[in-house]
Structure 1
Amino acid sequence: MALPQFHFLLLLALISLLSISSSSSTTTIHELLRSHGLPPGLLPNSVKSYTLSDTGLLEVYLDQPCLTKFDTMAFYDSVVKANLTYRSLSGVQGLSQEELFLWLPVVDILVDDPKSGLILFDIGLAHKQLSLSLFEDPRDCKSDQGVLMKNARKKKGLFEAQR
């Protein structure tokens, strides 16, 4: 009688482990950000899927490249990568911000002190502090419709004309 009970308990334990692992895999990217001390609105609503490796490499897949606005315009490539640690995204790739008519890549994002209500963006040339409240909710992201490519062509043409 003890052997069937043991098998039953073993089966229940296995089922509960499977349900725990499947529920953790259905965590949205926004819930993942929040669980790592980051605001969920750092990434737009248009996230299709994401992967998070054991080393902390986060790869986020969007439907398409897109634009949204926080304090300035932000451009998300169709794949955004970063190293995710608690309150930090470092080595960001695939995210740029418009500053003074230039598109600058976002390198790191850091919430140093959540009580301050600020989030720090490292855009290579400078550090920019923004209110955490700007990133409370994920935003809609609109197709860039080639805006960045058009701007790049205009700038290229301008430089070629100066030669």
Structure 2
Amino acid sequence: MSLKIPTPVFILTALFLLFPLTTTTTLQDLLRSRGLPAGIFPDNVKSYQLDREDRLEVHLESSCMAEFDGRMYFDRVVTANLSYGGLVGLEGLSQEELFLWLPVKCIIVNDPSPGVILFDIGVAHKQLSVSLFEVPPSCMPQEVMLEKLERKEGFDFQK
């Protein structure tokens, strides 16, 4: 009885099946695969990292503001624990409520079928339509966003 040694072609084929070459995924694809909408983070994401403990670190080109149902402020780096349907322990994201900027502690989509996403801002929970987060929003530097709002709302500030 002779022992057959696997051929190099067989070994390479097995390795490619076990470890595909294309392991690069966009942040939007990652979010969708975890039951979250693709547009939670703005369009100026430079890179992201997900470690073995599912700690997500998102690097933006610069800190900025975006509009969903209200204004959100993104630090240059936003971190959270990523689970299926949730970003928990968020750091680097704030939401404006009644002229106050409150840190967003977690974002949860319990069941995507009703189309509701929950934002926990500590003192309250805010429910928004998931459809607001289908596409990454444009993110503008804070000064540009405030200038845009001043023009939109007709305010005329004098120095």
Give the TM-score normalised by structure 1.
0.82
Deviations 1:15-56 (A, max 9, x none): 4444x1x422x2011110000000011001111111101111
- The alignment partner of 2:22 has SS state of helix
Matched residue, 1:23: 22
Structure 2: how far apart are the matches of 1:115 and 1:32?
19
Partner of 1:9 in structure 2? 10
Q: Report the Cα offset of residue 146 of structure 1.
A: 8.9
**2:74 aligned partner:** 76
Displacement, 1:147?
7.8
Looking at structure 1, the residues matched to 87 and 77 of structure 2 have their Cα atoms a distance apart, in angstroms, of 15
1:35 maps to 2:36: no
Quote the RMSD (CA, aligned, Å): 1.8
SS at match of 1:42: coil
- Amino acid across the alignment from 2:98: L
Unaligned residue ranges in structure 1 (runs of 5+): 149-163
Between 1:6-15 and 1:53-62, the stretch displaced more is 6-15
CA displacement, residues 77-112 of structure 1 (integer Å, 9 cap, x when unaligned): 000000000000000000001111110000010001
**More helix by proportion, 1 or 2?**
1
Deviation at 1:145, TM superposition (A): 3.5
The residue number in structure 2 matching 1:145 is 143
| Runs of 4+ displaced beyond 3 Å | 15-18, 145-148
Query: Is the 8 Å Cα contact of residues 44 and 139 (structure 2) preserved in structure 1?
Result: yes
Gapped regions of structure 2 (runs ≥ 5): 147-159
Residues 29-108 of structure 1 aligned to structure 2 (within 5 Å): 29-108=27-106
Shift in alpha-carbon separation, 1:116–1:141, aligned structure 2, 3 A: same
User: Secondary structure at the residue paired with 1:31?
Assistant: helix
Percent identity, aligned pairs only, is 52
